Amino acid sequence: MTALLLVGGLVIYWQSSGDSGPASAPATARRGGQVVASVRGEPRSFNRFVASDLTSVLISELTQGRLVRINRNSFELEPWLAEKWESSADGRTHTFHLRPGVTWSDGTPFTSADVLFSLRAVFDPKVESPIASALRVGGQPIRAAAPDPQTVVFTYAGPSGPGVGLLNSLTILPKHKLEAALDAGTLATAWESKTPLTEIVGTGAFVLREYLPGQRLVLDRNPRYWRKAADGQALPYLDRLVLEMVPEQNAELLRLQAGSTDLTYTELRSEDYVAARRGEEEGRLKVIELGVAPDADAFWFCLKPDAKKGDKRFAFVQKPEFRQALSYAVDREAFAETVFLGAAVPIWGPITPGNKVWFWPDIPRYPHNVDKAKEILKSIGLEDRNANGTVEDASGTEAKFTVITQRGIGSYDRGTVVLRDAAKAVGVTLDIAPLEFGAMLKRLMACDYDAIYMRPLFTDLDPAGNMDFWLSSGSTHLWNLEGKSPATDWERRIDTLMLEQASSIDPDRRKMQFEAVQKIFAENVPVLYFAAPRMYYAYNARLQGVVPSVQRPPVLWNADSLSVTP
């Protein structure tokens, strides 16, 4: 991609280059073949506007398109369904020119009307889309107009730090298939798992052909896909992509080693590295190092007031001192060694060293100190008055909680054990309850839990692309989902700083404001982080065109350029 800044003029002009239009073909790329990949759970929906679980997002990546996308290897912005755009000097107006000749998978022309429909749909209050908050500038929805079928003009309420990059979040859905549902107020339930797959059309590289709940999803190549390889070949190379549902990581590794699975949705576990290297030495697998993960396992309590009425424990869980004490209780060096077998780095916040632009090394830290943790708990009235090993408040309410986590994930199993033992050392009792992914997600969305241990993923490395996490009203504001107003003064301060940060076009100011956000977050620890793993990935040696990413999915983000050797 190239960028030309007209310093004395009115616009910044972006033009597609060879890298962001035609894909570079692997030296041995050939047409045809099938790839089998594993996923961990069922899709909640085939409609990206209402589902943000990993499988639903992956299916959207494979079947749908956006005007622009962030390349997950270079992290540069690329033209996609739009071939170019111009931005006004004040950064508030962006004019997009759509690629000519693009059609939906059913042959219907793709036009600016689809873009306007998608923007209207994502902001419809009945849809309650989890991605809507990422498409606001200055707290206001992005607006758009279409002067003709091939042009869309977006207007922002104010300047935006990510600028056009915000539109990486906007999946474009077909107006001709979904407008009736939107008008009827039923878009939130459209394209559910029972929907006939012929009704689900897209502009992505693949189309859904078969769905067997609990078993597999089968996707065929989209013969009307718009993208070409550098040599002019139509993409994707593959005829078919099969997503097998394999919730257990042990089974996933065995399938990869046996050759029945070509690639996995996630990176290798630490304990799988030696076995994968052995497979590489035998010529069956290839292993690559991705770097430090930009996301990490996390632990948090439900802090939603309405969900915890009558729970006497809620009074002390709400205190930041309680969460600080737990942070002091955990030895992060030992955590990295035990949970990730040493292939990890200690962290104290959600931004890891894997996010090189936004990581702040001076974030407030909680060095391991059991005595300090006990002292803090005592300062808020929690002591082991009856000598049973669990602290309680003056009324006798014990600090005893159930932690839910996803069943079958190695790092979750080990991480919750380490956390349980660390908490026990300071008088806090944690009982671990592994659940199937769907059950855990349901409990999470309803705030029907004491605490959760899992790895939430950021969809964007730029914090302004993850406003749904940072803002108190956000759909992934984990500890208090979609609050009607900030529940605390510190959350109100984060709201203010994040809105200012997202609307600034000064990189230095944005960085300074986000450091202030990280400081407030670390002081109040609504979510505890302990270690970010070093990531390794293994895949079948017959795959060609693999371009790895530290973000999930590590390989399937570039599925249209994958091919297989004979």
pLDDT digits (tens, 9 = 90+) for 231-281: 888 999 999 999 999 988 889 999 999 999 999 988 898 889 999 999 999
Q: How far is CA 253 from the centre of its chain?
A: 23
**The two three-digit tokens of residue 68, written as one number:** 């622009």
Helix or strand or coil: residue 212?
Answer: strand
Length of the chain: 566
In sequence order, the β-bridge partners of residue 39 are 245
Give dist(CA 30, CA 178) in Å, integer: 36
Q: Which pLDDT value is given to residue 18?
A: 33
Q: Which pLDDT value is given to residue 19?
A: 41
How confident is the prediction for the chain on average, in pLDDT? Answer: 91
Residue type, 321: E
**CATH code of the domain in which 6 resides:** 3.40.190.10
Give dist(CA 115, CA 172) in Å, integer: 6
Q: Which of 45-49, 505-509, 524-528 has the lowest mean pLDDT?
A: 505-509
In terms of DSSP bridges, do strands 240-245 and 34-39 run parallel, antiparallel, or are they unpaired?
parallel
**Is the pLDDT assigned to residue 507 strictly greater than 80?**
yes
- Cis check: omega of the bond before 361, within 30 degrees of 0: no
Same domain, 261 and 331: no
- 447 φψ region: left (φ > 0), alpha (ψ -120 to 50), beta (else): left
Same domain, 453 and 503: yes
Residue type, 335: F
Same domain, 465 and 500: yes
pLDDT digits (tens, 9 = 90+) for 129-155: 988 988 988 889 999 999 999 999 999
Same domain, 355 and 469: yes
In contact, 81 and 65? CB cutoff 8 Å: yes
Same domain, 342 and 448: yes
DSSP, residue by residue, 444-493: HHHT-SSEEEE----S-SSGGGGHHHHSTT-TT-GGGTT-SS-SSHHHHH
b/e burial code for range 447-468 (CB count within 10 A of at least 16 → b): bebbbbbbbbbbbbbbbbbbbb
**CATH code of the domain in which 387 resides:** 3.10.105.10
Same domain, 413 and 521: yes
DSSP secondary structure letter of residue 496:
H
Q: Cα torsion for 96, 100, 101, 103, to the nearest 10°?
A: 0
Same domain, 315 and 208: no
Q: Which pLDDT value is given to residue 24?
A: 53
Same domain, 286 and 378: no
In contact, 322 and 377? CB cutoff 8 Å: yes
Q: What is the 3-state secondary structure (H, E, C) of 503-518?
A: CCCCHHHHHHHHHHHH
Assign 91 a pLDDT band (cuts: 50, 70, 90). confident
Same domain, 154 and 101: yes
Overall number of domains in the chain: 2
Owning domain of residue 62: 1-291+542-566
Same domain, 286 and 406: no
Kind and range of the H or E element at 75? none
Same domain, 475 and 354: yes
Same domain, 139 and 231: yes
In contact, 544 and 317? CB cutoff 8 Å: no
**Is the pLDDT assigned to residue 2 strictly greater than 80?**
no
